[in-house]
Chains A and B, each alone.
Chain A
Amino acid sequence: MSAAECQTASFEELAVPLFDQLYNFAHWLTQDRSEAEDLVQETYFKALRGFSSFQMGTNFRAWMYRILRNTFLSSRTGLKQTRTESLELDQDGVELPVERKTPEAILIKHSNWEVIQTAIEELPLHSREVLLLCDLEEMSYREISQTLSIPVGTVMSRLSRARNALAELVLRKLEGGTVNGLRDLENAARHLP
């Protein structure tokens, strides 16, 4: 949407089309319907109040997602999830690729969405959000960077780590292995030949 169109558009016109995807994203973050509803409601409430401060011509979608994410991070569930995050520092730049087996091929064969949904749920918050913003919401690295308030290099490294972790989780689930926590999986992924 151009700056001129944005200026004449009402909050309702801009915000309503984002409702379902914001709700979906909120549910992935909170992993609870009731909390997702509270989060979305509070996001719309805050966004409506702050719409006059929104800079027309900038990215409205990224702005809404940023409000939702900040609201989530200040919630009890958000704080709990960030506290249990991996302590590894973000590295700007792309991680070296891990030689993967191909859970994707097995997955396609089985069309088992439940496996991948569970695997996404088990990803740590930073990995889960960046993966969903890129692959589900199809945001550009720049948009993700604006939404999460992190540099583009960090977006790339988090994304790379998220995909490696997801592939490893899916593989273990499909092979019937026991998952002993993401850190084990990440370590295992790093030491694969």
Chain B
Amino acid sequence: MVCETWKTQLDIYLDGELPSEQMHAFDAHVRGCASCAADALVRVQLKRCVQSAGRRFVPRAEFRGEVYRAIKAKPIRRMSLNWTIAAAAVALIFLIGLGVVFREHDRSGQDRAVYGELTDLHVTTLASLSPVDVFSSDRHTVKPWFQGRIPFTFDLPELQNSEFSLLGGRVTYLGQTPGAHLIYMVRKHEISVFIFPERVLPADREERSKLVKELSFNVETWSHAGLWYCLIGDVSATDIDNLAELLKGAGA
């Protein structure tokens, strides 16, 4: 059939995705071909049906308000020109004088953004009714569950004779990169262990094992074998450090 070639491209034509020359040629063909015109008509009708039927769900006003309030930007104070020039001059002096410090602060800001993201994940996961997707205390069940779900593998420690227990794990994302989120328990407290490829970190970051505080959570991070590990929990720094040592001992 002469029209077969046209018909294979009918959807692409109706989606407006053909190059302009082919669009013109298609326009001319459809005007002169009753069969293609009829096909085009029903496909346009289907697209319109999907468009109309697809606009189905409307958020609750209360929910919209909650989210809007949460993301509302802080108002920007406007200064007079003189003050602006003076402030700019002071800022310039500071910038020149504190170049190295600024760089460190920038890194610190990036770190805080990453920790902030992971802290959110930790909190929202624990608040969820189903915090884990593989629910098991057996590392030989949890580790294989991640096969095919994340693009790397990792080792988990034997927890016998320790006060920690494994609750399970789930796949999570940081900077659009998939990673593992494991949850451990110690004395009814949960600790999140995040494992991501190192590339999720800012390029110039020199990662070394360190223990910091973020929103009162204790956070410990380190890198090993191309993977970046981050532990977050509301337990003491000692507990976090003990679990980190167990993980490191398992090859992490």
Contacts and interface: CB of A to CB of B under 8 A. Distances in A.
Interface of A: 10-13, 15-16, 19-20, 23-24, 27-28, 33, 36-38, 40-42, 44-46, 48-50, 52-53, 66-67, 70-71, 73-74, 76, 79, 94, 96-97, 100, 102-105, 107-108, 113, 116-117, 120, 131-132, 134-136, 138, 140-141, 149, 156, 159-160, 163, 166-167
Interface in B37-79: 42-43, 45-47, 49-60, 63-64, 66-68, 70-73
Nearest to A36: B57
Interface residues of B, number: 51
B8 A70 contact: no
B15 A19 contact: no
Contacts of A136: 50-51, 54-55
28 contacts: A19-B68, A20-B59, A23-B57, A24-B57, A28-B56, A28-B57, A38-B128, A42-B124, A44-B67, A49-B116, A49-B117, A49-B120, A50-B117, A50-B175, A74-B178, A76-B130, A100-B42, A104-B43, A104-B46, A108-B45, A113-B52, A116-B53, A120-B54, A132-B54, A135-B47, A135-B50, A136-B54, A140-B17
A175 to B, nearest CB: 16
B88 interface: no
Given A104-B49, A132-B50, A49 B113 contact: yes
- Point out which of B71, B116, B124 has the most chain A C-beta atoms below 10 A from its C-beta: B71
- Point out which of B9, B50, B171, B175 has the most chain A C-beta atoms below 10 A from its C-beta: B50
B173 interface: yes
B29 interface: no
A103 B47 CA distance: 12
B98 to A, nearest CB: 20
Q: Main secondary structure on chain A at its contact with chain B?
A: helix
Given A13-B73, A49-B120, 19 more contacts: A12-B68, A15-B71, A19-B64, A19-B67, A41-B63, A41-B70, A44-B71, A50-B175, A71-B173, A74-B170, A74-B171, A74-B178, A76-B133, A102-B42, A103-B46, A105-B42, A107-B49, A117-B53, A120-B54
B172 interface: yes
B176 interface: yes
Given A11-B71, A45-B120, A74-B178, A20 B113 contact: no
A42 to B, nearest CB: 6
A159 B42 contact: no
A16 B9 CA distance: 36
Interface string B84-102: 0000000000000000000
B54 A24 contact: yes
B10 interface: yes
Contact of B12 (A49, A94, A131): A94
Contacts of A66: 176
